[in-house]
Each structure stands twice: as C-alpha cells, then as structure tokens.
Amino acid sequence: MKEHLLPTRIVDGAKLENESTLFRSKGLYARINYQVSEWNQYLKMTGGGSFIVLDFGKEMQGGVRLITNWVEKVTCKVRIRFGESLGEVNSELGEKNSQNAHNLRDFETTICAYSDATFGQTGFRFVRIDLLEENNYIYFKNIYCVNHIYKKNPVYTYQGADSRIAAIFEAAKRTVDLCASEGYVWDGIKRDRVVWVGDLAPEVMALSAIYGRTAVIERTLNLSKKIAPLPRFMNDIYTYSMWWVIMLADYYKEFACAEFIQKQLSYLVGLIDTMDGLVNEEGVLNTEIRYIVDWPTRFSSDELVGVRAIFLMAMNAAEYLLKAFNLSVDKVLDIKRRLLLVPLCVESKKQVIALKYFAVGEITDEEYDKLVEGGAKGFSTFMSYYILSTIASRDEALAIELMKEYYGAMLDRGATTFWEDFNMEWLEGSGRIDEFDPSKKDIHGDGGAHCYVGFRHSLCHGWSAGVAKFIKEHCHK
C-alpha cells in the first residue's frame, strides 16, 4: 500500500518563509498560481544556505513527493538527504560512515516550477532539503512522504493492558510491515533491501504471528530456493539454507499447508544431500564454506557451537517434514548422529545458549545463569525470540521484563521500528535519535559494529521483529 503523509514537525531550517503551510494538504497535484498575493500559502526557500529539516514522525519506506509552485529561474538545484536519525540526515557522506548503500539517500537533483516529482527510495524518518543556488528561490506547495507499507487484516494484535508491551508490539509490527511492503520480505529498508534467508527467519515468525498464512512469506521462501539452485547454498551461506528448512517446518506446523510444502520437497531432499558433506564422520564441521550465526558471535569461541545448534535445529525440522510426507529420514538421522558426537559447550554468548535449547531441548543450570546474568546485556536483536523463549521456559515473568528492558530501551531513544543490532552499553551518555544534543553521544552515528558501524547501521531491520511472536505466546495481560 502507498500512502501520502505530511510532516509532523519542522526540526530546523534557514531562510524560510510560510513554513507552517506545509502542515496543510493542498492536494496531490501541481497547480499554476499567477496571483503573487496568494503565494504566502506556500513554503518559500530563498538562495544559497536555505534549508529545511522535516520530521515525518515515524520510520518510513519510500521517498518524498515535491510539489512546487513557482521557481524563480524555472529550475533549481537542490540537495536531498534522508535519515533514520537526525544525526544521519544532517551528516556529510563519509561522516561517521554515512553512505549511499543499496539506494541513494544523499544526492543532488533539479526541480522545476509547477512540478510534481517523487525522489528517493530508502528507509527514513527525517528529510533535509538544501537549496544550492544563489539568486534563486522555490515555492513548495507541499512536501509529502510517499510511504510503502504492507497492509493486511491482522489475526493477532496485543490486547493486554501493559502499555510498554503494546508499544514494543507496534514497533515490531511496523518493522515487518515496512520490510514486507514491496512484494518480498526484505532484510532492511535503508540498507540490505534484499532477501537474506537466515535473517528472514524472525520476520517469518513475526508476519505469521500477526497475519497468519501470507502470500508474501511463501513468495519469499520460493524466491530463496529459486536463486540458490543446488548445490549452491542460499546467499552462499550454508547456515542460511538451514534456516530455510527451519522456517519451512515451522510454517507447516502452524498452517498445515501441505500443498505448499509438497512443492518444496524435492529441493529439501536435495538440500539434505548437499548438507551431508558439511559434517564429517568425527562430527567436525566444514569451515571452508561461509557460515554465520549472527554478527555479535562472529569469530567468537561460541560461533561454531551456534552453527552446530542451527544445523541440529534444521535436521530436526527436516526430520519432522520428511516424516509428515512419508519420506525417508535415514540420511537426516545419520547427520544428527554425527553432529551430536561433539558436545554443545557454550562459553558465554546468550544467543548460542538459546540456540542450544532449541536444538536439544535443554540447557544446564550454569548456562541458564549465564543467560540471565546482567539482564538484557548481551542480547541480540536477531536472536531475541530464541533468547526470550529460553528464559521463559524457566521464568516467564523474568523473560517479559527483560524484553521490556531491551526493546523498551530502543523506544526510549526514539525508535519507531527496531534496529539491526542494539547493545545496552550504547545507552550510556547517549541521546535520542529524534533530538540533537551535542553534549550527548549520538547513539546512531557513534554506535554500531561489524559491517554496520555508525550511520550505516539500519534502524529498521526485519530480523529484530521476532519479539512479536514472543509477545503473542507469552504476554496475555
């Protein structure tokens, strides 16, 4: 669905007139107005150094529609910047890793008198427009956000009385609504506007929990298979093909969609044959082909333990599906036998402890203590459903409180969608993404890690939305 939205506030600007006129819609069409006396109903930007920073109130996916009235020299060069935070929208390219990645979010263009033009295709909340020519001016009839968002009647919404949980649920829902808005389920909307199959798993959880069986999920699972003909692994990462098997089994358990699963079985059987070569007779994993658990575990001592746990989860899922359709599970059982030759010994990573629980159904008391030590410190947005569900297996009330601590902290920093990653340590000394305070650390520009340092960090990343399923399963008050 496409929607046109007016800005909610003007954050900053210079050399402006009639700014308040932007908050009143004057129609989605250009209009020639020869009466100079009536031009005061339009925003005027005049000369070099003129700029405006607009806040559209929430994270959006799309661009801006600029409807002009008169331009003094008929055309005028402008610079348009999009940002998920105020820091990003005001940044220069290269500053704190500010960049154009996957789609332009900082560019110059030309606009005309009496024009109606849409610019940009990215994830953003804020827009900055700078006029780049001296001795020129522009009258804007309106500046709209053109937002693309997934729309379907939900089968579940949180109806409890806890306002904090309600806000977390709505932000998780908006995260996947934006990521699923263009026909497939993307990883993110500013960066990584592609289908990353492993990252897709929490999004499938969230979309299924909120909307039930949906075409966008099935279309995306089919695409994942299509772009990775065997023996190639999905996204060339073998753990991502494992997540595809896990998603397939979870989807069938939820919706008993036999006709959909039957179309996947030949690929599934071939994939199991390919996976057979990933673990040898001593239970040692292949490390020559790319794999990943999540970024916070990258190169840690727990990373291969996490890979082994995901592999076991995938083989459990494959066993379930093959039995459901009366197919042989011999190879799957043999792979599981080899995987279990090496014990799952987790040193510290909370997400790997949780994956172990989902792989083998139990963790030690010592591992549980590590899981809850320090509260939400060490949580992972990607693995949040697994972490919270594992804690809830012993203490549901504590899991809910830690969910509120972790996801609520993002809300307290101005989030309206959930982020690619979030560490509780980033909170110290930091400000909100929708405020500018030079005395505080920029949680967006000064945060991030791995491949998402600074403003490259995505603040609407679908893998963070698995919490929606946790809420549906555990939050009934």
If you average pLDDT over every residue of the chain, what do you get? 97
Outline which parts of the chain fall under CATH 2.60.120.260: 2-148
pLDDT of residue 96: 97
Q: What is the pLDDT of residues 357-376, one digit of tens each?
A: 999 999 999 999 999 999 99
Task: With cut-offs at 50, 70 and 90, classify the pLDDT of residue 280.
Answer: very high
pLDDT of residue 34: 79
Task: With cut-offs at 50, 70 and 90, classify the pLDDT of residue 35.
Answer: confident
61/57 Cα distance (integer angstroms)? 13
302/272 Cα distance (integer angstroms)? 25
293/215 Cα distance (integer angstroms)? 27
410/350 Cα distance (integer angstroms)? 19
Q: What is the pLDDT of residues 43-86, one digit of tens each?
A: 999 999 999 999 999 999 999 999 999 999 999 999 999 999 99
369/395 Cα distance (integer angstroms)? 12
Portion of the chain with pLDDT greater than 90, in percent: 96
Q: What is the pLDDT of residues 293-344, one digit of tens each?
A: 999 999 999 999 999 999 999 999 999 999 999 999 999 999 999 999 999 9
CATH architecture of structural domain 2-148: Sandwich (2.60)
Structure tokens at 447: 């945060």
Q: What is the pLDDT of residues 408-448, one digit of tens each?
A: 999 999 999 999 999 999 999 999 999 999 999 999 999 99
Contact between 190 and 105 under an 8 Å Cβ cutoff? The reply is: yes
How many Cα neighbours within 13 Å face the side chain of 445? 25
Outline which parts of the chain fall under CATH 1.50.10.10: 163-420+458-474
* Omega within 30 of 0 (cis) for the link into 296: no
What single-letter amino acid sits at 117? A
240/197 Cα distance (integer angstroms)? 5
Q: How many C-beta neighbours within 10 Å does residue 328 have?
A: 11
DSSP bridge pairs for 87: none
Structure tokens at 308: 């082994």
pLDDT of residue 407: 98
164 pLDDT exceeds 90? yes
Task: With cut-offs at 50, 70 and 90, classify the pLDDT of residue 192.
Answer: confident
Secondary structure string (H, E, C) spanning 21-49: HHHCCCCCCCCCCCCHHHHHHCEEEECCC
pLDDT of residue 95: 97
User: Closest Cα to residue 407, out of 466, 347, 322, 336?
Assistant: 466
User: Closest Cα to residue 436, out of 83, 23, 81, 59?
Assistant: 83
Q: Which helix (H) or strand (E) holds 13?
A: strand 9-14
How many Cα neighbours within 13 Å face the side chain of 347? 7
pLDDT of residue 400: 98
pLDDT of residue 32: 86
Task: Give the gyration radius of the chain's Cα atoms.
Answer: 25
User: Closest Cα to residue 310, out of 278, 274, 288, 334?
Assistant: 278
Average pLDDT over residues 129-153: 97
Among the four given CATH numbers 1.10.10.10, 1.50.10.10, 1.10.8.60, 1.10.760.10, the one describing domain 163-420+458-474: 1.50.10.10
Ranges assigned E (strand) in 102-215:
106-112, 116-131, 137-148
Q: For the packed helices 467-474 and 163-179, what is the interaxial angle rounded to 10 degrees?
A: 140
463 pLDDT exceeds 90? yes
287/303 Cα distance (integer angstroms)? 11
162/27 Cα distance (integer angstroms)? 39
169/178 Cα distance (integer angstroms)? 14
CA distances in angstroms from 362 to 141, 346, 359, 473, listed in the order given: 62, 13, 8, 19
* 439 exposure class (CB count in 10 Å sphere: 0-12, 13-18, 19+): exposed
pLDDT of residue 145: 98
SS3 399: helix
Average pLDDT over residues 133-151: 97
pTM of the model: 0.97
Q: What is the dihedral of CA 67, 72, 76, 81, to 10 degrees?
A: -50
102/190 Cα distance (integer angstroms)? 7
Q: What is the pLDDT of residues 212-264, one digit of tens each?
A: 999 999 999 999 999 999 999 999 999 999 999 999 999 999 999 999 999 99
Contact between 398 and 408 under an 8 Å Cβ cutoff? The reply is: no
68/60 Cα distance (integer angstroms)? 22
* 14 exposure class (CB count in 10 Å sphere: 0-12, 13-18, 19+): middle
